[in-house]
């Protein structure tokens, strides 16, 4: 009986979660949920965040459950800071198997003719460049282990193709790269929570997902799929016109 392997066992794995704090005190954001879930399944988790107070709160939550984590202060928009965060994680926990890039912001408002370009560039750095910088320093560690898993949290569509390109580039090295696209999880309707997002990430980081890479996974309760009373696609009537066979008997 005991020879049956435990599913979603991260014992021995070291994970880095960027944005592991949360701006809402006592609440569960996406990074905090992901860090707690990984630690709960046995991973040692480096809680990388600019704001150490917010990350310490996550660490306390992990400690309450008996998990292992450490706060690593970094600004993920600065390459030297990312390099040091990786170095610190390896010093603390020996290596890195998993990188979850959560840090991101809503982005500059306005259309192309109106938006403030300095704000756009600032947010591009936070949302996209940061993921390249963290991956750039995590991948050499993953190579040493002969495996790795990276999950990017999508804030802008640019991340989708970047994730797929990274999946293709690092697939031969057994480093999987996937992307999670959460819906508005903290709307007043409260349709979803950080736990829903965290569980999707946990799955993508697990050995059970070893055959999954380059996946863009919406975690949004189906909101981007359309609505039953407003389907995403209209019926195409061309075949009906050309052949006389009706789309529907009704």
Ligand X SMILES: NC(=O)c1ccc[n+]([C@@H]2O[C@H](COP(=O)([O-])OP(=O)(O)OC[C@H]3O[C@@H](n4cnc5c(N)ncnc54)[C@H](O)[C@@H]3O)[C@@H](O)[C@H]2O)c1
- Summarize as ranges the residues that interact with ligand X (CB under 6 A): 18-19, 21-24, 29-31, 49-51, 54, 74-77, 102-104, 126, 153, 155, 182, 184-186, 194
- To which H or E segment does residue 72 belong? strand 68-73
Instruction: Judge contact between 16 and 99, C-beta under 8 A.
Output: yes
Q: What whole-number distance in Å separates Cα of residue 239 and Cα of residue 233?
A: 15
- Cα dihedral 187→67→25→223 (10° resolution): -10
DSSP string, 193-217: -HHHHHHHHHHHHSGGGTT--S-EE
Instruction: Judge contact between 201 and 100, C-beta under 8 A.
Output: yes
Cα–Cα distances (Å) from 3 to 6, 11, 42, 84, in that order, read 9, 16, 19, 40
């Amino acid at each position: 009986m005991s020879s049956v392997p435990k599913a979603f066992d991260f014992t021995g794995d070291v994970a880095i979660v960027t944005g592991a704090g949360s701006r809402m005190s006592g609440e569960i954001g996406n990074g905090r949920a992901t860090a707690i879930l990984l630690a709960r399944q046995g991973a040692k988790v480096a809680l990388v965040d600019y704001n150490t107070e917010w990350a310490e709160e996550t660490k306390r939550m992990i400690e309450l459950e008996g998990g292992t984590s450490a706060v690593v202060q970094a600004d993920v928009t600065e390459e030297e800071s990312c390099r040091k965060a990786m170095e610190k994680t390896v010093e603390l926990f020996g290596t890195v198997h998993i990188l979850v890039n959560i840090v991101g912001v809503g982005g500059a408002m306005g259309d192309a003719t109106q938006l403030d370009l300095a704000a756009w560039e600032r947010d591009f750095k936070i949302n996209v460049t940061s993921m390249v910088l963290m991956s750039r320093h995590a991948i050499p560690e993953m190579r040493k282990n002969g495996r790795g898993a990276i999950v990017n949290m999508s804030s802008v569509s640019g991340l989708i193709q970047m994730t797929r390109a990274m999946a293709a580039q690092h697939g031969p090295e057994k480093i999987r790269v996937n992307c999670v696209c959460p819906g508005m999880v903290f709307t007043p309707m409260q349709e979803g929570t950080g736990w829903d997002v965290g569980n999707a990430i946990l799955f993508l980081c697990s050995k059970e997902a070893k055959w999954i890479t380059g996946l863009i996974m919406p975690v949004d309760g189906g909101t981007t799929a359309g609505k039953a009373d407003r389907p995403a696609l209209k019926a195409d009537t061309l075949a009906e016109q050309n052949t006389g066979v009706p789309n529907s008997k009704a």
